[in-house]
Amino acid sequence: MTPDDATEVAYSDFISQVESGDVLTGKYDNTNGEITFTVGVDEFTTVGPIPLPDDDASLVSSQVNEFTYDTPTPNFLQSWLPLLLPIGLLILFFWWMQRRAQGQMGNMMSIGRSKAKTYSTERPGTTFDDVAGYDGVKQEITEIVDFLKHPERFAEIGARVPKGVLLVGPPGTGKTLLAKATAGEADVPFMSVTGSDFMEMFGGVGASRVRDLFESARKMGKAIIFIDELDSIGRKRGAGLGGGHDEREQTLNQMLSEIDGFEGSEGIVVISATNRPDILDPALLRAGRFDRQVVVPLPELEDRVKILGVHLKGKRTDDDIDVQVIARGSPGMSGADLANLVNEAALFAVRRGGDKISAADFDAARDRALLGIERDSMVRSPEELERTAYHEAGHALCAAVQPKNDPVHKVTIIPTGMALGVTMTLPEGDRHSLDKQEAEARMVMAMGGRVAEALVFDEFSSGAANDLQQATSLARRMVTEWGMSDAIGPMSLSDSGPVFLGEDMMQSKNSSPATQELVDKEIRRILIEAENHCRNLLVEYRNGLDLVARALLEHETITGAEVDRLIDISRSGPAKLAQAQPAEVGAGDDAN
């Protein structure tokens, strides 16, 4: 029987058994007072006092033949563990501190290494098939890819590939996407880095990273280096107030040397993207460096159709969607804007509980992108509502009766964005220039709200603040940039040059005070003529103004076709005008 199987009894029972002489053997543990004893063939345990009292010890020694006193000794681990544990923790702490110091030293030693991401042919990713439109741009990039794939074809006739290609265009036009497509088309390694990755708080780090970037590319033999946002490090030198030894200029100097310095970079093509080419250093743009600039403009109508087709793939659309109509109604939108337009239309479809994207969802998404979010909860007094209706009716009428204006698409007095009402026009096609009559028509339309308020309420309000800004900006550009003023003549007085890092602080004005005074007079004359012409139109079409305003008060939103119909009614004479009931005025309103 083991001690675990022994029966536990009280200490008094143990003493009684000893007195009666029944205990044959026993053992006393000096550390915990445990007593193990046998009575016959049975084994028992008990716990006695520590130490055993003298009387009880004498009794046990006289009555029990085999009774021992045992003091167990701890093993090695039990003896030394309390001492070894703090020593081990101290050693572990010093080891961790040493590893951390080595890591920090390693980071300090590697801070000058390039952060470029390298893509090999095993990870092609995007290709030119994923880039909709821009056939001319893709042709320019394809020449670079062909040279890297088949350099012998160019070498036979002595052609030299450009060392640097600069993609220039507004934000969201797909410059970075084209670079990713180049990575997918080329059978050479592709290294991608952002201009801001070169900059660090320590001096010389950017230049070191440029050296490491080109050294890594040279080890690959042939490679494409893509630098996004080149203007962050390629700004014109000497334009600031901090001298020529700052970190950014050191980085730029090193890049100039690597692209076309004493050591050639044969087989390495640098592709960069920027939307601010006007602020780049001239040394970057000279022949031998970024000697080829590829303009990535806002997409034309055909390009927008292709881009919309790409973004509509995989989406459930209704049969009433016409991509041509959507593309025609989104002039000036970049590829990113079109992608957002498709996504917003999908969100509108989900909100209304539909299972497909319809044409109405695209109309709502376009209105939100161009006009802003409608604020239906805004409370306005009847007087303010009537003033807003006549204000927007003035805009709509001036736009509708002038042939040089874009057609009216939608008029609303629902607060949208920061405006109390909106008159929206859409061009029938892409437009790349503006003649004098078109500019004057736009100014007359901008004046329509202000003049309508003065004509009806005999006073002005603050609602025409943005309209006056637009009209004044147009008039100023007509005089100072477009040469549309007979008094100024064919002279450019625009001072809208690059403004950064104090470059224009030391530049003098490009016109005399007398010329500036003449410019101000011409701007005022053009604006007053536009206002007078606007007033004459509204007086002539006063009945149409009232009809459009009344329709807005009843329906809040009317279409451009409804505006044209109401103007036609006003031209039909008093009899037809008297028959125009409120229900007829709002007929055909299909706006949301």
DSSP secondary structure letter of residue 10: -
Identify which has the larger pLDDT, 575 or 254: 254
User: 63-85: buried (b, 16+ CB within 10 Å) or exposed (e) per residue?
Assistant: bbeebeeeeeeeeeeeeeeeeee
Could you give the CA distance from residue 556 to residue 414 in angstroms, rounded to a whole number?
6
Identify which has the larger pLDDT, 56 or 470: 470
Q: What is the pLDDT of residue 5?
A: 63
All structural domains of the chain, each given as residue ranges with its CATH number in brackets, are: 3-70 (3.30.720.210), 117-295 (3.40.50.300), 301-371 (1.10.8.60), 382-497+509-585 (1.20.58.760)
Each residue's pLDDT tens digit, 182-230: 767 776 777 778 777 666 555 566 677 777 777 777 777 777 788 888 8
Q: What is the pLDDT of residue 576?
A: 54
Could you give the CA distance from residue 511 to residue 518 in angstroms, rounded to a whole number?
11
Residue 367, pLDDT > 70, answer: yes
Each residue's pLDDT tens digit, 521-530: 999 999 999 9
Residue 280, pLDDT > 70, answer: yes
Q: If pLDDT is split at 50, 70 and 90, which confidence band does 575 have?
A: very low
Each residue's pLDDT tens digit, 302-313: 888 888 888 888
Residue 97, pLDDT > 50, answer: yes
Could you give the CA distance from residue 474 to residue 472 in angstroms, rounded to a whole number?
5
Could you give the CA distance from residue 432 to residue 181 in angstroms, rounded to a whole number?
28
Q: DSSP per residue over 506-536, as a string? A: GPPPSS-HHHHHHHHHHHHHHHHHHHHHHHH
Beta strands 268-274 and 164-168 are parallel
Q: What is the pLDDT of residue 98?
A: 74
Identify which has the larger pLDDT, 75 or 89: 89
Residue 105, pLDDT > 50, answer: no
Could you give the CA distance from residue 125 to residue 408 in angstroms, rounded to a whole number?
44
User: Using an 8 Å Cβ cutoff, are 444 and 398 in contact?
Assistant: yes
266, 200, 192: which is closest to 226 by C-alpha?
192
Could you give the CA distance from residue 481 to residue 232 in angstroms, rounded to a whole number?
29
CA end-to-end span of the chain, whole Å?
94
Cα distances (Å, whole numbers) of residue 293 to 109, 191, 264: 37, 20, 21
Could you give the CA distance from residue 181 to residue 186 in angstroms, rounded to a whole number?
9
Cβ burial of 225 (10 Å; 0-12, 13-18, 19+) is buried
DSSP secondary structure letter of residue 286: S
Q: In what order do the strands lie in the sheet with 42-47?
A: 7-8, 42-47, 34-39, 23-29, 66-70
Cβ burial of 226 (10 Å; 0-12, 13-18, 19+) is buried
Residue 233, pLDDT > 70, answer: yes
Could you give the CA distance from residue 225 to residue 588 in angstroms, rounded to a whole number?
57
Q: Which of these ranges, 218-232, 306-320, 547-561, has the smallest mean pLDDT?
A: 218-232
Q: What is the pLDDT of residue 103?
A: 52
Q: In what order do the strands lie in the sheet with 292-295?
A: 117-119, 190-194, 223-228, 268-274, 164-168, 292-295
DSSP secondary structure letter of residue 236: P
Dihedral, CA of residue 572, residue 578, residue 579 and residue 581, to nearest 10: 120
Q: What is the pLDDT of residue 114?
A: 47
**H-run or E-run covering 356:** none
Could you give the CA distance from residue 566 to residue 192 in angstroms, rounded to a whole number?
58
Could you give the CA distance from residue 149 to residue 466 in angstroms, rounded to a whole number?
55
User: Using an 8 Å Cβ cutoff, are 420 and 413 in contact?
Assistant: yes
The rounded percent of the chain whose pLDDT value lies above 90 is 9
Q: If pLDDT is split at 50, 70 and 90, which confidence band does 472 have?
A: very high
Residue 48, pLDDT > 60, answer: yes
Three-state secondary structure call for residue 17:
helix
Q: What is the pLDDT of residue 443?
A: 92
User: Using an 8 Å Cβ cutoff, are 394 and 452 in contact?
Assistant: yes
Residue 545 sits at the vertex; the CA angle it makes with 474 and 553, to the nearest 5 degrees, is 105
Question: Can you state the angle between helices 513-540 and 465-480, rounded to 10 degrees?
Answer: 130
Q: What is the pLDDT of residue 523?
A: 92
Residue 110, pLDDT > 50, answer: no
- Mean predicted confidence (pLDDT) in 108-123: 48
- The active-site residue, picked from 140, 247, 374, 392, is 392
Structure tokens belonging to residue 546: 């009232």
Q: If pLDDT is split at 50, 70 and 90, which confidence band does 74 have?
A: low
- Mean predicted confidence (pLDDT) in 422-443: 82
Q: Identify whether 383 is a catalytic site residue.
A: no
Residues constituting the chain? 592
Give the ranges where 481-512 is alpha helix by DSSP (H). none
Report the chain's mean pLDDT, rounded to a whole number. 77
